[in-house]
Amino acid sequence: MVDINPKLKKFIFEKIDSDLNDVIIHPYGKEVWLITVVDKGWYFIGDSEGTTWFNQKFFDNFFRLFSMNLKEYSPLLKEWFETKTSLSVRKIARKNTTYDYMIDGVLNRNTKEYDWTLKKRWGFSYPMVKRYVDLKKKLKRERVSIYDFSECKTFTTSTCS
């Protein structure tokens, strides 16, 4: 891994947080998508087996600001994704596709077949699924932002109460 200054890393993570502030975490069976509802953009797709894909077009443009290449920024994306989702990433890879054809289906599915429940976790950990299900109930919203999910590890924080 490339050695990166801690202050730069902190700044990059804050910039990612800022740029992805309207992203929701959206479970879809064995996958969890980080997507935006309005423009139907996707940023990450993680699966229950530990593989995560990121949107190459978006992140290549993003990391040009920092003069970083794929080899330098992939470990940062892995760490950011793991921190925000609590998913362990074994492999991170890029995908250069829009997924327009998939996002409509993922967001507007008529069936609850691919929803997470405590009994139907699709290979994800019980604590992660419980946090997501409880957060949806607590916030009384169908969609959960990545900010809410990453900040609400428990329901004792002021953000989650």
Tell me, letter by letter, the H, E, C secondary structure of 39-72: CCCEEEEEECCCEEEEEHHHHHHHHHCCCCCHHH
- Tell me the whole-structure pTM to 2 decimals: 0.90
CB 66 within 8 A of CB 50: no
**What's the domain range around 56?**
6-114
Helix, coil or strand: residue 130: helix
Residue 134's closest CA among 113, 161, 110, 111? 161
User: Is residue 43 one of the residues assigned to a domain?
Assistant: yes
In a domain, 23, yes or no: yes
pLDDT at residue number 3: 85
Percent residues over pLDDT 90 in the chain: 71
Closest C-alpha to 123, from 95, 93, 87: 87
Is 95 a member of any domain?
A: yes
Looking at the domain assignment, is residue 48 inside a domain? yes
In a domain, 17, yes or no: yes
Q: Does the residue 151 lie in any domain?
A: no
Domain count, the chain: 1
Greater confidence, 32 or 100? Answer: 32
77 domain-assigned? yes
Query: Could you tell me what percent of the chain has a pLDDT over 70?
Result: 91
* Number of neighbouring beta carbons within 10 Å of residue 129: 19
